[in-house]
Structure 1
Amino acid sequence: MPPVWFITAASSGFGHAIALSALRRGHTVVATARNPSRIADLAAAGAHTLPYDVTAPLPVARDLAEQVFAQHGRVDYLINAAGYILEGSIEEASPEEVLASFDTNVFGAMRTIQAFLPHMRAQPVAGENEGRGEGGGVRGVVATFGSLGSWRGSPSAGVYAMTKWACSALAETLALELEPFRIKATVIEPGYFRTGFLNPGTRVSTRARLEAYEDEGTPTGRARRGLVATDGRQLGDVNKGAEVVVDVLTGTGVAKGRDLPVRVVLGSDAEGVVRNKMAETGRILDEWREVIRSTDSPLEE
């Protein structure tokens, strides 16, 4: 039996590219989108396609999980790829816009994971030589999507960064909680990849626009113009990135013989952000070491 992938938001970006990569390897792919007509090419390539909106209530996700496991028997790779950027300053973002962003980027992944985990915990451990890594011995893998925004807040993209920090925290927590059940979890943290993510029709801006933040002399004004300039000129190649993701999750190719990391960083721009964050945090800890430690209770003798 080939391994089974379940992928949300497979109509574009990493979700679509990962689906194609898995199909090329002879794996079974269950690809979903709010409108299945947008993934007709995946169906033509051999994927099973289903309608699924990650903002639907938990009972809908549970019904879908029941359907998938009834048809395919197991899910080896659960990929939560749904997400969008809300462009706007913190002051401009309304509570409704923030909640909608979290509902897709974070809560949608949580609901999907909550619906599928009972079945994944109950499924047999995967054997060797089944496309699930050299050693097998794993029931499944759960992947969420973070970003270089998981590591760095950015003017005019603060809400997006908030959601991506949450997705990375979700994966790190799952990695610990699911270890006893032989289920692995990881977060994929790409830099800027050349997808439709920043296209005007995909990028969502806050309804409120304050003149103070339109000023090119402010970090926010420069950042929002930078997003427009970056669209179509991103450094990353999504097809190369997807191949690496599938290798890393399956323990094959470039990941053969390596353990699955809890964070899969993609792109030299993302690497730079992470390294700078680590160095900056180290400097803060060094500078404030004595103050940090001064708040401890006295050691009991």
Structure 2
Amino acid sequence: MATQTPVWFITAATSGFGHYLALEALARGHHVIASGRSLSRLSPLADAGAHTVVLDVTSPLPAIQAVAKDAVAKYGYISHLVNAAGYVLIGAVEETSPQEDYDTFNTNVFGVLNVSKAFLPYLRASAGHRTICNFGSIASWTGGAGAALYYSTKWAVSGLSEAMREELAPFGIAVTVAEPGYFRTGFLNKGAAVNSEKTIEAYEESAAGQTRRGLEGHDGKQVGDVKKGCRVLVDILTMSGVAEEQEVPIRVALGSDSGPTIREKCERTMRLLDEWEGVTGKTDHED
């Protein structure tokens, strides 16, 4: 029996990893349904052979379910769901407003949840290799002054992905979280990164203020090549190329800076546990 052609549904395909994943999949002869908030911004992918649809991941679940139903009807199935939508909110916790906080979680976390909810009935009913890839970040592993809301959403996506992997393994659906380091996408471009409306002078010379200035200066100088990163990621998600005969892992530490950052966090955590275990571990009932 011939292997089915992979069919990808990708959110936030107008730019960044979503865009280049779509191009890489198309270059391999796969079917791609690329979504974003603007059809005009998706036109380069349409020209490359993708089917394009409008989707705002913050829409109510019924609206996302309608998009999912139409998307599955296009080819009869979906094999790869990529939740790539997300943005960074820059500002100290005291500076960001409750609405800004909610909007960040609504895109970065609730968007992943609702898009997954909409597609899961079809993924469960399908046969063959099926994968969900949620986008975390190097920020899934470290907190950082001046972008706490972004870091916390990516921690949430990492934990959500681990739980989804356990839930969906019995159905033969692999779930992974991509945790890229700094790649040269438009993620930090002016207008892509969102600064809190309110700033507090006391934070300007602190670590939070340094983050605000540092991220702006980092744009366009990131070490990662997004095209190379997407080539590796598509290999991993399709268990081909450099990932042939390998299972889809729980996480993909993508980029030369991601792995060392995660490793250093694990080592610091181990030292912390060793230091305090004699105190914090003595809390059981005597019986």
TM-score range, shorter chain: over 0.9
- Cα separation, 2, equivalents of 1:46 and 1:234: 29
Q: Which residue in 2 is equivalent to 1:104? A: 107
Q: Deviations over 1:76-105 (max 9, x none)?
A: 000000000000001101110000000000
Alignment counterpart, residue 211 of structure 1, candidates 191, 198, 201: 201
Off by >2 Å, runs of 4+ in structure 1: none
Q: Deviations over 1:108-149 (max 9, x none)?
A: 1100000000111111x21xxxxxxxxxxx3x1111000010
1:10 aligns with 2:24: no
Shift of 1:291: 1.3
Alignment counterpart, residue 284 of structure 1, candidates 258, 268, 272: 272
1:251 aligns with 2:239: yes
Alignment counterpart, residue 198 of structure 1, candidates 172, 188, 211: 188
Higher mean displacement: 36-45 or 218-227 = 218-227
1:31 aligns with 2:34: yes
- Cα separation, 2, equivalents of 1:39 and 1:7: 12
- Cα separation, 1, equivalents of 2:54 and 2:39: 5
Q: Deviations over 1:164-215 (max 9, x none)?
A: 0011111100100001111010000000110110011111000110001112
Q: TM-score, normalised by structure 1?
A: 0.93
Q: Which residue in 2 is equivalent to 1:76? A: 79
Q: Which residue in 1 is equivalent to 2:64? A: 61
Q: Which residue in 2 is equivalent to 1:240? A: 228
Shift of 1:275: 0.9
**What amino acid maps onto 1:46 in structure 2?**
G
Shift of 1:296: 2.1
Q: Which residue in 2 is equivalent to 1:261? A: 249
Alignment counterpart, residue 146 of structure 1, candidates 125, 131, 136: 136
**What amino acid maps onto 1:115 in structure 2?**
A
1:119 aligns with 2:107: no
Q: Which residue in 1 is equivalent to 2:148? A: 158
- Cα separation, 1, equivalents of 2:176 and 2:285: 35
**What amino acid maps onto 1:169 in structure 2?**
G
Q: Which residue in 2 is equivalent to 1:22? A: 25
Q: Which residue in 2 is equivalent to 1:42? A: 45
Q: Which residue in 1 is equivalent to 2:178? A: 188
Q: TM-score, normalised by structure 2?
A: 0.97
**What amino acid maps onto 2:62 in structure 1?**
P
Q: 3-state DSSP class of the match of 1:117?
A: helix
- Cα separation, 2, equivalents of 1:79 and 1:292: 40
**What amino acid maps onto 2:112 in structure 1?**
A
Shift of 1:42: 0.6
- Cα separation, 1, equivalents of 2:214 and 2:284: 44
Shift of 1:289: 1.1
Higher mean displacement: 243-252 or 266-275 = 266-275
CA RMSD of aligned residues (A): 0.9
Shift of 1:240: 0.6
Q: 3-state DSSP class of the match of 2:117?
A: helix
Alignment counterpart, residue 223 of structure 1, candidates 189, 206, 211: 211
1:174 aligns with 2:164: yes
Between the two proteins, the alignment pairs up a number of residues equal to: 284
Shift of 1:3: 1.1
- Cα separation, 2, equivalents of 1:297 and 1:233: 54
Where does structure 2 lack aligned partners over 5 or more consecutive residues? none
Q: 3-state DSSP class of the match of 2:266?
A: helix
Where does structure 1 lack aligned partners over 5 or more consecutive residues? 127-137
Aligned-pair identity in percent equals 51
Shift of 1:292: 2.2
